[in-house]
Amino acid sequence: MAEHVEGPLYYETMGRTGPVVAFVHPNPMDQSCWMFQMAHLSTWFRCIAIDIPGYGKSPKATKGLTMPDIAQACWEAIDDAFPGESAILAGCSTGSTIAPHMYHLRPEKTKALVLCGTGYNPRKEFAHHRIKSYQDRGVDFRWDYTFQDFSAAFRTTPLGHYFANMFAERNVYADAASIIYQFEAMLLPEAADHHSAIKAPTIILSGSEDGAHLSAFALKDRIPGCEMRVLGGAGHACQIEQPGLFNRWMIEFLGKHGLMPAAAKPMM
């Protein structure tokens, strides 16, 4: 079992045939942020969306949590749902930070990486700010924080409020201390070749209105052969704001690398 995690992670699955795609969510959301991708990609894939420790219905984390601990817990969820299977790993923000650690734990089982809401920021100032906000406000901070993951235009929409309210309604299951431990884990140093050693096909899907957008280009340059597409007008959680375009580019990427099932005929 993964260290510093108080039990198996909660997950949802959709799709009964095809390769496995594992989705890992951002802070402050949970696995439901991937509902548009789960509904669409499950046409051809077995999809699993995982709640990391302290979010959704997953157990708490303990002090000393590391990113490899979370990565190991995510692989254990995949093993539980689909024993012995390889997986395509998709992450947003925190999920995009976890995915490379998952790759390093099982490079032979990682078929590809699809990253969004991400960039290369070695100083990670944001983590200190998030730690303080959760220390001051506890899990109630999640509602406000959800809107920070959206573009200015999407924040005003009923759908944006729907997602913020849905995640906040689950605060009874969330744990602020675990979320703080996650941000502390992000601040731990990474290996010098953390990105350059990635050999799996990788794409970054970046929203032009994401605060991390400019740093996404730096991350692209650090991962060998990494591809990148820009979703104009989308924010940090671009998979929610523009699911049609996000899914189309994800499907095109997987098809390019021979990872779409042979019988798949996407209408893109």
End-to-end C-alpha distance for the chain, whole angstroms: 41
Q: Tell me the average pLDDT across 126-153.
A: 97
| pLDDT score recorded for residue 268 | 64
Angle at 117 between CA 33 and CA 84, to 5 degrees: 65
Question: For 130-152, what is the mean pLDDT?
Answer: 97
The domains found in the chain, sorted by start residue, are 11-256 (3.40.50.1820)
Per DSSP bridges, beta strands 110-116 and 46-50 are unpaired
Give tens-digit pLDDT for 176-207: 999 999 999 999 999 999 999 999 999 999 99
Residue 10 has pLDDT above 90, yes or no: yes
- What pLDDT, on the 0 to 100 scale, is given for residue 146? 98
| Confidence band for 74, pLDDT divided at 50, 70 and 90 | very high
Question: What's the rounded Cα separation, in Å, for the pair 65 and 212?
Answer: 24
Amino acid in position 207? G
Q: How many other C-beta atoms are found inside a 10 Å radius of the C-beta of residue 252?
A: 16
264 pLDDT band, cuts 50/70/90, is: low
Q: What is the mean pLDDT of the chain?
A: 97
What is the residue whose two structure tokens read 């729907």? 162
Mean pLDDT of 67-96: 98
| Model confidence band, residue 262 (pLDDT cutoffs 50, 70, 90) | confident
pLDDT, mean of residues 62-82: 98
pLDDT digits (tens, 9 = 90+) for 145-176: 999 999 999 999 999 999 999 999 999 999 99
* pLDDT for 193: 98
The Cα 186–Cα 179 span in angstroms is: 11
Specify the pTM. 0.97
